[in-house]
Every structure is written in structure tokens, then in C-alpha cells.
Amino acid sequence: MFEEQKSQFDPGDPCTTLSVRQHEVSPCACCSSVFADLMQTMEVLDEKLTDPDFWRKRNRCKEQAPRNAVLINAKVLTMDESFSEASAMAIKDGKIVAVGDDAMVRAAADADAEIIDCQGKIILPGFIEPHMHFFPIATIGRFEDIGPFRYPTVESALSRLKTLAENVEADEWIMARQFDPSLQEGVEELTRAELDKVSTSNPVFVYNASLHFGYCNSKALEIAGISKDTPDDPASPYGRDEDGVPNGVLKGGKAIASVVRHNTSRNTDDLAEGCLDVCTRANAVGITTFCDQGTGLVRGVKELDIYRALAESGSMTARLRYSLSYALQDEFDRAGIAYGDGDEMIRATGWKIVSDGSNQGYSGLQREPYLHSEDKGIAYVDASQLKEMVLDRAARGWPLVVHANGDQAIDNTLDAYEAAFDAGLLTNTPWRIEHCSILHDDQIERISKLNLSPSFLIGHVYYWGQAMRDKIFGDAKAELLDRTGACERKGIRWTLHSDDPVTEMGPLRCIENAVSRRMWKEPDRQLAPDECISVESAIRAMTRDAAWQCHSDHEIGSLVTGKYADFILLDRDPRKVPVTEISQIKVLQTWMGGRKVYTCPECLS
């Protein structure tokens, strides 16, 4: 079956190769052309979204001008090369003008600069999320999250939906997302029988966390006119019960779209608010820069115009770096976009290729078969294709960003990068390996030699660690997951990411996960404790080194004179709290370019 699916590969549509197994269990935003299907269900007007005035009217950030201020009585962790500390920092025109002790910084600042007493709180550089998916999150963000991290059982998720159903208007759709049977205990799929218990009068629709599956109730099927007689598209069929009646399970983008397109309340305003939510949510967890890893998958090249309008209007309260998705290569080439295009707010910094699937979906490409299986996963791009694509893009000046989860996919990526190195094309560094989940010593050796940089989806350890060990790889191979410690010892620069919507953006949570290596389902046990790293290293991975990985360390990532005034105030020092409390530290304020863009609502001053 896997062979058959591989042979249907179409480089323009990476989703065509997804296995049924992956669909069932894997959240995988990297390869989602489902977003295109989803967008077709929304009435979205690009001319509005590319108009700065449209965004200006919705601006959520009260502060539009950078402050001229001196922050004193703080503990400033500068994250400079020597991890030095200071007590004060002066900012002006969006940049840092002095860092040091209170007296020195006050003397260096303008006489009329505003004095802000930080009352001993911690100042860190704004966090940098090096791998997330902006438009995908914006598109589905406003649906109710009933995923495992909020509702560990299917029953609790359904009961949340029931509560929602009590408060909706007649005809209103109840829309939800993130259902993940690989982590939520209970039924494997949500049939109409389950969802009819939520409501029989209102349509109910739920996305699987992978977005490759949808589930709906009888009312939704009825509105969509889907019955026993509706024919199946073999590539995207309806689930059916024994007598052929659709059971509410929708397999693939087309079946999903045939239902959700009847929800006509989704429109430009939803997407706009979704975009602003992404910024708000990022600021609330201390992020001042994020990097979109797969630009174009939702709105094509238009995405760049939308980002531009957002930034111009002042509504974009985090900087954006982006890697163009290889799936839209021709469109981007026609538009003539080049590495480095943009400015300090928005900039093109990479070329993204997805070379395999995901390990928890059994589609990451492995050297050896999965546990209790003959199967080695899926190459979305085979080794020779990958080499060709890497050489082609490198010759055009692009730094490469290749998604590789399985160890064989990482071998293929290293071979391709090495070919570029041999051809003198490994330029505009750093080049990245995304997720880089299963890593052997020989691969770490090669990464070091070629000066490459991995970014780890550290939630793999925390959320899926137990499944990786017991179901997917077995004890020995699970030890090779997310090897931050080994990379650190080797002097390789690495980062951490959320891959939101795979896991939610949360740098402090990522830091805690990497430092503790504890597992969600077995809180007292660690996965591969040798891979633990220090709090300082984990912070560096989400600030200075993430800035470097996003080709921006000349302007952000540490608090030194001349860089942008992107910083956060924390109520406690992550180095001084018990490891398991790091994720609970409060972000009190977030500042971007000298503007305060977030204040914690319950702890403000």
C-alpha cells in the first residue's frame, strides 16, 4: 500500500503521498495543501487584506510609536556572547541605546527619557520562534481547540462541545479542531453518532489535528446534502456505516470541503482576526519574532502582500521571517522573490522543502522499519530529487531549510547538503534541518563538519515521548530523539520550535521540555536524560541562536546596543526556579521595536 502511494507522488502536491496511517494520527502542518481546500470554503477578499487601511481599523496595539525610556532596577539577561547581566537598559527610536548599571545607563540616556522602574524583574530578549505556520494557524485558529493538551479524553472534549452547543444561535455552526486520537483516550474517530450527542439542531464539525480528517454530525451532513447516494471520490471518500450511509467521518480535503463550505459565516473578517490572534498569542508568550516555515501554502504569493499590509498598518506586533514553500516554486520564481528581500519587520530567509512525513504518523523516513512493522515511512521527495532541488535553489542563493524527521530522511538531507558544499554552493548560511528528530552519532559528526544547524520540535519528547518509545521506535531508538545535549557538546548551534499548530507556541514550555526531558504521560520519567541541557543553553536556543538561524542575529536575539528593542519582562528568573516551573513563569510585558505590545492582564503595572 505504501509503495502504491509513493508512486503517485506529485511534487506540486505533497499531500498526495500521505498514508492513511499518518492521517489517522499525525498532526503535520508542513505538508498541508488542505489549507487550500479550507480557503476555498471561505469568502476571502485579498484586495481588502492587502490594504493597510483595512488593518489600521483593526489595530489592537495601542502603542504605535517607540518609547524613549530607561528601564532601571531590572535584572537584564543580555544573552550576549558572555551571558552578561546588567541592571538597566535605555531604548530610543525602537533600538537599544545603552545597557549597563543604572547610573551608567541613565547618564547615557536623554535627560527627558521616561524612567521605568522594573522592580527587580527579569528582562530577556524577546523570544524567537524559529518554526511555525502563520496562515494555517490564522485560518483555523478561531475554531475551538478541543485537542489533547486541553482535553486529555475524548469524553472531556465532547463535553466541551456540548457546553458550546448550549450557547449558539439557531443555524450557527459549531467548529472545532485538534482532535487527536493518538493522544486522547477514547474512540478512534468521531462519527455522527458521537457528534449528534453534541447537537442535533446545529451543525457540528471537528478537524483532526492533522487537518487531513474531519468529522461532522447528522445536521451538517443534511445541510451538505450528503447521503447514501452521494458518490465517493476514491482519493477523499466518506466514512460509511455497514449499509453505506455516511457516518460523519470525512477523509481528506475534498470530503471535508464538501461539508464545511456550507458554513458561509467564514469570511475575510475571520481570517483577519485570525491573523491578529496569531500576533496577540505570540506576544502573550513572549515572542517578538516568528518564522513561517512554508510560506504560500494558503494564499500563494499574496501572503507576502498581506504581511506587508499588516506591517505597514502597525498591527503586526511581531517580526516575521519566512521560508518559501517549495510547493509553489514556479509562482515564487515568477514573482522574482530572492533571499534577503524585505526589511527588519518581514524578510525572506529560507527555502523550505519537506523531505519526509512525521514519526508519530509512521511516515518519517527511516533507515530501519518501525517497531513491529516492515514499514520504513515515506519519502515525499526522494534522495536524488532532493539533491537536485537543493543544488538548484542553492545556485539561486537560497539558504535551505529541509524538514527531515526520520534518520534516513536526515541522511538524504545531509547527502544533498554535502553535494552543495562540494559544489561550493553552501553559502548564505546557516542552512537548517527541521525537526531533525532521530539523530545518530555519525550524523551529528556530519552536521558539525558541514556547519549545519538543526531545529528541534521539542514537544516530540514531552507530548509524544512515551508513544515514541513504546509504539513507534522502541527503547533504543527513542533515545535518539531530539539530541540537544549531544549537539551542544559537539558545539553545534541548534534551536527549539513549536511547529504551531502541531504544538502551541510557548518558548518557556519549550525551554522546560528541553531542560527536563520529562514526558506528559509519565511525568516522573525522562526520555534520554543525557540529552538534557542547561537553562542558559535552552534560553540561548530561543533567543540568540534562533535569531542567527533566522538570519537576523545582526539586529535581534540579544540585548546589546544597536539592536532592536525587542524584549520581555518575566516575573521570575528561569535559572532560579525548579525546572518543572519554568513553563509557569509569567510573561509580564512584551516589547517590540521599543513599543509595549503586550501587558499581562492580571499582573500589570
Taking the least distance from each CB to Zn ion, the nearer of 194 and 411 is 411
* Helix, strand, or coil (residue 302): helix
- 178 contacts: CB under 8 Å, gap ≥ 6: 27, 145, 146, 147, 148, 149, 207, 209, 501
- 255 contacts: CB under 8 Å, gap ≥ 6: 214, 233, 236, 237, 238
Helix axes 383-395, 407-422, angle to 10 degrees: 40
Query: For residues 242 and 94, what is the distance between their CA atoms, to the nearest angstrom?
Result: 64
Give kind and range of the element (H or E) at residue 175.
Answer: strand 174-179
Q: Which of 15, 18, 25, 30 binds Zn ion (CB under 5 A)?
A: 30
Point out which span in 23-31, 205-213, 342-350, 547-555 binds Zn ion (CB under 5 A).
23-31
| DSSP designation for 499 | T
Cα torsion for 496, 502, 507, 509, to the nearest 10°?
-100
CB of 455 to Zn ion, least distance (A): 10
Q: Kind of pairing, strands 114-117 and 69-72? A: parallel
CB of 560 to Zn ion, least distance (A): 30
Q: Are 594 and 91 in contact (CB under 8 A)?
A: yes
Rg of the Cα trace of the chain? 24
DSSP string, 96-163: EEEEE-HHHHHHHS-TTPEEEE-TT-EEEEPEEEEEE-HHHHHHHTTSEE-STTT-SBHHHHHHHHHH
| DSSP designation for 364 | S
- Site residues (CB under 5 A) for Zn ion, limited to 484-503: 499
Partnered with residue 248 across adjacent β-strands are none
By the rule CB under 5 A, 460 interacts with Zn ion = no
Kindly state the number of chain residues that form the binding site for Zn ion, as judged by CB under 5 A. Answer: 4
Neighbours of 396 (CB within 10 A): 12
CB of 324 to Zn ion, least distance (A): 14
Query: For residues 195 and 213, what is the distance between their CA atoms, to the nearest angstrom?
Result: 15
HSE toward the beta carbon, residue 464, CA cutoff 13 A: 26
CB of 299 to Zn ion, least distance (A): 17
Give kind and range of the element (H or E) at residue 512.
Answer: helix 507-516
CB of 358 to Zn ion, least distance (A): 7
Q: Are 267 and 43 in contact (CB under 8 A)?
A: yes
Report H helices in 119-267. Answer: 134-140, 154-165, 192-196, 218-224, 253-260
Taking the least distance from each CB to Zn ion, the nearer of 130 and 342 is 130
Q: Please choose, from the candidates 212, 199, 203, the residue with its C-alpha nearest in 3D space to the C-alpha of residue 249.
A: 212
Give the x/- contact pattern for Zn ion in 279-298, rule: CB under 5 A.
--------------x-----
Sign, CA torsion 190/192/198/202: positive
By the rule CB under 5 A, 403 interacts with Zn ion = yes
CB of 313 to Zn ion, least distance (A): 27
CB of 405 to Zn ion, least distance (A): 7
Point out which span in 71-79, 203-211, 260-268, 398-406 binds Zn ion (CB under 5 A).
398-406
In order of 258, 362, 391, 407, 442, the CA distances from 365 in angstroms are 32, 8, 21, 7, 17
CB of 498 to Zn ion, least distance (A): 9
Taking the least distance from each CB to Zn ion, the nearer of 293 and 537 is 293
CB of 29 to Zn ion, least distance (A): 5
Taking the least distance from each CB to Zn ion, the nearer of 100 and 406 is 406
CB of 33 to Zn ion, least distance (A): 14
CB of 500 to Zn ion, least distance (A): 9
Give kind and range of the element (H or E) at residue 597.
Answer: strand 595-599
Q: Grid cell 519549550 — which residue?
A: 510
CB of 599 to Zn ion, least distance (A): 30
Taking the least distance from each CB to Zn ion, the nearer of 30 and 69 is 30
Burial 299-314 (b: 16+ CB within 10 A, else e): bbebbbebbbbbbbbb
Taking the least distance from each CB to Zn ion, the nearer of 178 and 247 is 178
Taking the least distance from each CB to Zn ion, the nearer of 14 and 557 is 14
Taking the least distance from each CB to Zn ion, the nearer of 499 and 512 is 499
Taking the least distance from each CB to Zn ion, the nearer of 469 and 497 is 497
Taking the least distance from each CB to Zn ion, the nearer of 136 and 203 is 136
Taking the least distance from each CB to Zn ion, the nearer of 154 and 510 is 510
Q: Please choose, from the candidates 574, 473, 465, the residue with its C-alpha nearest in 3D space to the C-alpha of residue 517.
A: 465
C-alpha cell at 398: 537560497
Q: Are 74 and 118 in contact (CB under 8 A)?
A: yes
CB of 382 to Zn ion, least distance (A): 17
Residue nearest Zn ion, Cβ-based: 30
Taking the least distance from each CB to Zn ion, the nearer of 205 and 207 is 207
State phi, psi for 291 to the nearest 5 degrees.
-120, 120
Q: Grid cell 546588567 — which residue?
A: 86
Cis bond leading into 148, ω under 30°?
Answer: no
Point out which span in 26-34, 172-180, 184-192, 247-255 binds Zn ion (CB under 5 A).
26-34
- Site residues (CB under 5 A) for Zn ion, limited to 493-552: 499
Point out which span in 261-269, 316-324, 389-397, 401-409 binds Zn ion (CB under 5 A).
401-409
Q: Kind of pairing, strands 114-117 and 122-125? A: unpaired
Sign, CA torsion 3/28/456/361: negative
Point out which span in 262-270, 400-408, 527-535, 589-597 binds Zn ion (CB under 5 A).
400-408
Taking the least distance from each CB to Zn ion, the nearer of 55 and 431 is 431
CB of 286 to Zn ion, least distance (A): 20
Taking the least distance from each CB to Zn ion, the nearer of 281 and 403 is 403
- Site residues (CB under 5 A) for Zn ion, limited to 202-241: none
Taking the least distance from each CB to Zn ion, the nearer of 16 and 526 is 16
CB of 327 to Zn ion, least distance (A): 13
Sites of contact with Zn ion (CB under 5 A): 30, 293, 403, 499
